[in-house]
Amino acid sequence: MTQGKNNTDLTELLLKCMAEPDPMLSMLEWLCAQLMEAEVSGLVGAEKNAHNPSRSDYRCGYRPRRLDTRVGTMYLMVPKLRSHGYIPFFVTERKRSEAALVQVIQEAFVQGVSTRKMEKLAHSLGIENLSRSQVSEMTKGLNEQVQEFRNRSLTDTRYPVIWTDALYEKVRMDGRVVSMAVMVVCGVNEQGHRDILAVEPMLDESKESYSQLFQSLLDRGLKTPLLVVSGANKGLIAAIRESFPGASWQRCKVHFMRNILAHIPQKEKESFAVQLKEIWLAPSVQLARQRAKQLSEQYGKRFPKAIELLEDGLEDSLAFYAFPELDARKISSTNMLERLNKEIRRRTNVVGIFPNKDSYLRLVTTYLMEYAEDWSVSRAYLNPKSIQTLLLSAA
């Protein structure tokens, strides 16, 4: 009886799909939907609309996601989970980034870039036989996704540690090419997972620009973090102290070392750098200060400018010692964001000069959206127990 019913259901499904403009694509879309529901039921520990006291999570609506296949393009409704991110196992990664790259090509074409340059750019991205209608279809709804991601609420999650750094690209504005910064703010939540909190374009790195960035985060519900890790731009420092009263500021030790080494002769750099690095590898802040003092006494007369920089910025670079619960390697520098920026540049380098600010922001944001999704389902960046200990001690 059950087998007969299943055959009837399958027949009805086939007839329904046959009536669609693309029967094969319709069948594939139905199959993907069934696979997602089965996978999510396994993760949750309960079927949809079913009660199970031992379930591990709850469904929380759906989100649309584009999926390009050899059969064609379809738009899936991907289930969302309340406590964890979910990415279907069959989804090809980086599809939104490819759509953003295609839109960059379209805008370059509209603004008069030569056909020859357009073809070269498209081929470097693996895109051939590109038409305006294809571009329009591929990028449909992309802007809405970007805006939703950049303006989403941060009320429900606490981010005890945040990092901020800038990414620079050449962008055409008002008939000239300028170097534009996009500030990226990343945070770690109470479960130890990383997330992208802000992607904001800035024409200048003034206190006012940074203050607007941080105010927008606060308006979206960000609670004051316990630690902010960044470079030592004066406007940025002032904005951090004004926007996040009570938060500690960690000067990126890697940027700090680079600034100091810029005043060391080339032939001395390697030996000096070895001793300089030992300061931040010390097991205690007292020993770190002692090593810095020894270095100052040894090289003070030979390299006065480098030693002056070290002494003036030392304490700000040692702030991470006040958080012994957390992994010092990860909270003492912005290396995590620098690695992320390098990955983004691998994709933006093929564009060269962006036709406008929106195309630049769209490409960077869509790429970061995919990183945020990957992070939500990967292992924790910082130990959750360490973060809970930190939050309890700060309460």
Looking at the fold, whether 214 and 307 belong to one and the same domain comes out as: yes
Q: Flag whether 3 is in a domain.
A: no
CA separation for the pair 282, 286 (Å, rounded): 8
Give 79's DSSP letter.
Answer: E
Farthest-apart Cα atoms in the chain, separation: 94
- Residue range(s) defining the domain that contains residue 73: 17-92
pLDDT in tens, 3-26: 455 455 555 666 676 667 667 677
Query: Final residue of a domain: which of 59, 76, 92?
Result: 92
- Compute the average pLDDT of residues 216-222: 97
Looking at the fold, whether 106 and 203 belong to one and the same domain comes out as: no
- Compute the average pLDDT of residues 266-291: 96
Task: State residue 379 phi and psi, 5-degree precision.
Answer: -70, 155
Give 126's DSSP letter.
Answer: T
Looking at the fold, whether 193 and 260 belong to one and the same domain comes out as: yes
Looking at the fold, whether 135 and 83 belong to one and the same domain comes out as: no
Looking at the fold, whether 25 and 144 belong to one and the same domain comes out as: no
Name the residue among 73, 77, 79, 52 with its Cα closest to residue 64: 77
CA separation for the pair 139, 133 (Å, rounded): 10
- For residue 308, the model assigns a pLDDT of 96
- For residue 320, the model assigns a pLDDT of 97
pLDDT in tens, 93-143: 445 655 665 666 656 544 555 556 656 666 665 555 555 555 555 555 677
Query: Final residue of a domain: which of 75, 92, 109?
Result: 92
- For residue 1, the model assigns a pLDDT of 46
Say yes or no to pLDDT of 327 above 90: yes
Looking at the fold, whether 83 and 115 belong to one and the same domain comes out as: no
The confidence band for 315, taking pLDDT boundaries of 50, 70 and 90, is: very high
At 313, the amino acid letter reads G
- Compute the average pLDDT of residues 192-201: 94
Looking at the fold, whether 208 and 279 belong to one and the same domain comes out as: yes
Q: Flag whether 5 is in a domain.
A: no
- What lies within 8 Å, CB to CB, of 166 at 6+ separation is 181, 182, 183, 184, 202, 205
Looking at the fold, whether 215 and 237 belong to one and the same domain comes out as: yes
Say yes or no to pLDDT of 316 above 90: yes
The confidence band for 283, taking pLDDT boundaries of 50, 70 and 90, is: very high
CA separation for the pair 202, 168 (Å, rounded): 10
- Compute the average pLDDT of residues 32-43: 82
Looking at the fold, whether 207 and 349 belong to one and the same domain comes out as: yes
Name the residue among 167, 186, 182 with its Cα closest to residue 225: 186
Q: Flag whether 114 is in a domain.
A: yes
Q: Are 160 and 390 in contact (CB under 8 A)?
A: yes
Say yes or no to pLDDT of 350 above 80: no
Beta strands in the chain (DSSP E): 59-68, 73-81, 161-173, 176-188, 194-202, 227-230, 248-251, 353-354
- For residue 48, the model assigns a pLDDT of 81
Looking at the fold, whether 79 and 187 belong to one and the same domain comes out as: no
Looking at the fold, whether 127 and 211 belong to one and the same domain comes out as: no
- Compute the average pLDDT of residues 303-321: 97
Looking at the fold, whether 190 and 103 belong to one and the same domain comes out as: no
**Total domains present in the chain:** 3
386 or 38: which leads in pLDDT: 386
